[in-house]
Amino acid sequence: MNKYRILLVEDEKVVAADIEECVKGLGYEVVGSAASGAEALRLVANTEPDLVLMDIKLKGALDGVDVAAAIYEEFQIPVVYLTAHADAEILERAKKTAPSGYVLKPFDDRTLRTAIEIAFDTHRRQMQLIEGGRRLATAISSIDEAVIVTQEGGQVAVMNRLAESLTGWSQDDAIGQPLSEVFTVLNAQTGSPQKSPAARALREGMSLGLGEHALLLSRHGTRTRIQGSVTPVRDGQTDTVGACLIFRAANQRTSGENWGTPDHSHTSRLEMMGRLTAGVAQKLSSLLDGHGKTGRTRAAQLADRLLAFGQRQPEPPMAFDLNELIKGLLDLLQSALGEQIQLRPLLHPATGAVKGEPGQIELFLMHLALGARESHLKGDFGIKTHLHVSESDGEPYAAITVTLPDGAGDMGSLPALDEIARQSAGEVRIASQDGRIQIYLPSATPYGDSPSVLPTC
């Protein structure tokens, strides 16, 4: 066990001595003991403890809740309350300071050890999410969507600049606050408050749209019709460690989009950004946890990939290298797939250039990857490129064959892919059979430059 350094804050000397003896007996180091709020803040600055055990009732102008809030805001050090006071008003104040634990006196050694160890683990995970979220917010700060990432307990971990503008909260003020304080949603038809969408997404473990009647009430009292979605952020396949909201003002909706309704919930690039952002947030947390400089470099690269994906705009069909497009998407695809599905690319070097819309191909592949993850599949997700000659007209096509993990069936993917295809001016053909999705694009490579024998699917 690590020898964690702990500061005690307790105004009764006899009680403080008993707690210190108990903490040392559990194998932790006590770096100091304070009897007042002012003394506690001074000792935190001087000793830089790993954790603070905080009594709520203290001598002086500041009580333990005030001190805990200052410690968390200034030093981001976890605080565990040790108190005999458990009335509802104190508990509500204490919850707003994002404590890492709350133990009622009297307690035994086992209870205290459990509270301390859980506090350290919870704080570590929250800091990873915050760090990953900051990178995420930096990466998407220039995208015209608002993003808020929460911790497991529902506190705000990060928000980007557009989210600050719409909510009226700065990121510095919002971090650590309950999401319901920062993101207050009313029903536009009735004016009544709506239940937290993040809480429901965390409870049900699935992505949800905010609906067509969401009205955001800002910190300054302004009201804005918004559209968007919320997606759980998972640590591995099942453990939910937070939520990601992505939203925007309803008047920014582009022609043909209908966010928050079932018909378009899986085909909109913006809704997909929300689902993908949650996956990237998890991956960033993993890369930043114990991977040193290499992990930080990969995290930055992944954030850049997300930025490029989010900034891509619809464009006329053009010639582009299909293999290079897919290579640039591999890290995002793996983030979308999660840890239980392994990406297996096989890119044929003779595939060459194709004619189409690059963003459309990205949407196809990302939709399939996210669908596989959200269906809780396990196994391999294969992406194979090759050339194909049409039997009807002899024209060469570049083909992408996506092989889904076992048990996927067709996942209902073909109708959604057809919807994406309809929104593009490019010529693309799609087929689906036995867990395989085949996407065909016209080849831009002159027929004479192709091999004499073309592999077919």
Specify whether 400 is located in the same domain as 364: yes
Mean pLDDT calculated for residue range 438-449: 72
Domain endpoint, select from 310, 340, 363: 310
pLDDT in the model for residue 168:
95
Any domain includes 116: no
pLDDT in the model for residue 451:
39
CATH of the domain at 371: 3.30.565.10
Six-digit token pair at 23? 């903490």
pLDDT at 216 over 90: yes
Any domain includes 247: yes
The percentage of residues in the chain with a pLDDT greater than 90, rounded to a whole number, is: 14
pLDDT in the model for residue 83:
78
pLDDT in the model for residue 267:
36
Specify whether 34 is located in the same domain as 85: yes
Inter-residue contact 150 to 198 (CB < 8 Å): yes
What does the pLDDT look like over 401-420, one tens digit per residue?
A: 999 887 665 454 555 565 55
Domain that holds residue 211: 124-310
What does the pLDDT look like over 177-203, one tens digit per residue?
A: 888 899 999 988 888 888 877 788 777
Mean pLDDT calculated for residue range 120-129: 72
Domain endpoint, select from 49, 81, 107: 107
Window from 203-212, 298-307, 336-345, 354-363 with minimum mean pLDDT: 298-307
Q: Would you tell me how many other CB atoms lie within 10 Å of the CB of residue 144?
A: 12
pLDDT in the model for residue 277:
62
Which helix (H) or strand (E) covers residue 306, if one does? helix 292-311
pLDDT in the model for residue 284:
58
DSSP letters, 28-55, are PEEEEEESBHHHHHHHHHHH--SEEEE-
Window from 83-87, 137-141, 157-161, 382-386 with minimum mean pLDDT: 137-141
Domain endpoint, select from 107, 141, 162: 107
Specify whether 371 is located in the same domain as 268: no
Angle at 214 (CA atoms; ends 211, 220), nearest 5 degrees: 155
pLDDT in the model for residue 169:
94
Specify whether 172 is located in the same domain as 273: yes
- Rounded to whole angstroms, the Cα distance separating 93 from 77 reads 18
Specify whether 323 is located in the same domain as 274: no
Window from 87-96, 177-186, 357-366 with minimum mean pLDDT: 87-96
pLDDT at 36 over 80: yes
Q: Judge if the upstream peptide bond of residue 358 is cis by omega within 30 degrees of 0.
A: no
pLDDT in the model for residue 259:
40
Predicted confidence band of residue 364 (pLDDT cuts 50, 70, 90)? confident
Specify whether 177 is located in the same domain as 272: yes
Specify whether 255 is located in the same domain as 400: no
Specify whether 210 is located in the same domain as 291: yes
Q: Would you tell me how many other CB atoms lie within 10 Å of the CB of residue 330?
A: 15
Any domain includes 457: no
pLDDT at 25 over 70: yes
CATH of the domain at 232: 3.30.450.20
pTM score: 0.47
Angle at 268 (CA atoms; ends 244, 208), nearest 5 degrees: 40
Q: What is the mean pLDDT of the chain?
A: 76
Any domain includes 118: no
Specify whether 54 is located in the same domain as 155: no
**DSSP code at position 250:** G
Q: How many domains does the chain have?
A: 3
Mean pLDDT calculated for residue range 8-34: 89
